[in-house]
Amino acid sequence: DQQVKQNSPSLSVQEGRISILNCDYTNSMFDYFLWYKKYPAEGPTFLISISSIKDKNEDGRFTVFLNKSAKHLSLHIVPSQPGDSAVYFCAARLIQGAQKLVFGQGTRLTINP
């Protein structure tokens, strides 16, 4: 049962435009949501997170929005740059236990010049 879902396997955006990556979740027992970026043959690197009690968090070109009623979050990248081309994973942290992260399937973002 996939608790965190990224329904778009890939996304192509022109350089300079906005990239919007989406993520849905089903479990209400998450206290934080995170986005990770992954290049081929490397481990994921943390991008940005948001607490379940917030609806927006911004860090430079990256903004994450959380809609709790819809159980949906999105990552906005503005403006998109060629170096943003990577696989992006949405993750949710469980409140209990060792606070393990549950990941989505990932979305491959390609920024076209």
Partner 1 sequence: DVKVTQSSRYLVKRTGEKVFLECVQDMDHENMFWYRQDPGLGLRLIYFSYDVKMKEKGDIPEGYSVSREKKERFSLILESASTNQTSMYLCASSLPGQSNTEAFFGQGTRLTVV
CA angle 77, 106, 63 (to 5 degrees): 20
The answer to whether residue 49 forms part of the interface with partner 1 (CB under 8 A) is yes
- Burial of residue 69, with CB atoms counted within 10 A of its CB: 0-12 exposed, 13-18 middle, 19 or more buried: exposed
Is the separation of the CB atoms in 64 and 73 below 8 Å? yes
The answer to whether residue 92 forms part of the interface with partner 1 (CB under 8 A) is no
Report the Cα–Cα distance between both ends of the chain, in Å, rounded.
38
Per CB under 8 A, the list member of 7, 9, 55, 68 interacting with partner 1 is 9
Per CB under 8 A, the list member of 45, 67, 81, 112 interacting with partner 1 is 45
Residue 67: partners with Cβ closer than 8 Å, 6 or more residues away: 55, 73
The answer to whether residue 7 forms part of the interface with partner 1 (CB under 8 A) is no
CA distance 25 to 5: 6
Number of residues that bind partner 1 (CB under 8 A): 27
Using the contact rule CB under 8 A, the part of the chain among 14-22, 55-63, 64-72, 86-94 near partner 1 is: 86-94
* Residue whose CB is less far from partner 1, 10 or 67: 10
Summarize as ranges the residues that interact with partner 1 (CB under 8 A). Answer: 4, 6, 9, 31-32, 34, 36, 41-46, 49, 89, 91, 93, 97-106
